[in-house]
């Protein structure tokens, strides 16, 4: 039994199969990232041992039950009723507008009205369909730092 000669038809068949497999792989990988649990970006009063990180704000600058938008860092920090702080990108995932406020438990984009959960970054009102990317933060000595 020998090797069959390569024909245009068999070469074309191989290319079609490779392109189809690549397309399916891309779609599966893209969908798989959305379903993977993202590590929490919550920081508590204990935080990890000091390891550097950039100072973002003092804890008292992040209102309990609200948040603050750091324009210079393009980060929004939110805080529940305790000392737990969450960090998210301050750039809306719909069309890249900067978010404008944290109000009523939501991070609000002024451009098209998208709303994101202040504790998770999840979309609670479109047109955005992707959550705000998390920014890992840590609370240390009464200040919030990048992790």
Question: What confidence tens digit (pLDDT) does each residue in 8-33 have?
Answer: 887 788 777 877 777 777 766 666 54
Show Cβ contacts of residue 14 under 8 Å, excluding neighbours closer than 6 positions: none
pLDDT of residue 6: 77
3 state SS of 87: strand
Are 144 and 86 a contacting pair, CB within 8 Å? no
The encoded tokens of residue 53 equal: 């990180």
pTM of the model: 0.63
Residues 32-86: pLDDT tens digits? 544 444 444 455 444 444 456 888 989 989 998 889 998 777 999 999 888 889 9
């Amino acid at each position: 039994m020998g090797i069959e000669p390569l024909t245009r038809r068999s070469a074309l068949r191989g290319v079609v199969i490779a392109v189809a497999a690549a397309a399916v792989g891309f779609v599966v990988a893209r969908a798989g990232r959305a379903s993977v649990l993202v590590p929490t970006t919550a920081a508590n009063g204990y935080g990890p041992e000091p390891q550097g990180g950039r100072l973002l704000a003092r804890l008292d600058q992040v209102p309990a039950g609200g948040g603050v938008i750091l324009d210079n860092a393009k980060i929004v920090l939110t805080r529940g009723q305790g000392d737990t702080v969450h960090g998210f990108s301050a750039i809306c995932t719909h069309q890249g507008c900067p978010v404008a406020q944290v109000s009523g438990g939501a991070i609000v984009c002024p451009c098209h009205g998208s709303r994101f959960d202040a504790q998770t970054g999840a979309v609670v009102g479109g047109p955005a369909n992707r959550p705000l990317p998390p920014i890992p933060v840590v609370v240390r000595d009464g200040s919030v730092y990048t992790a």
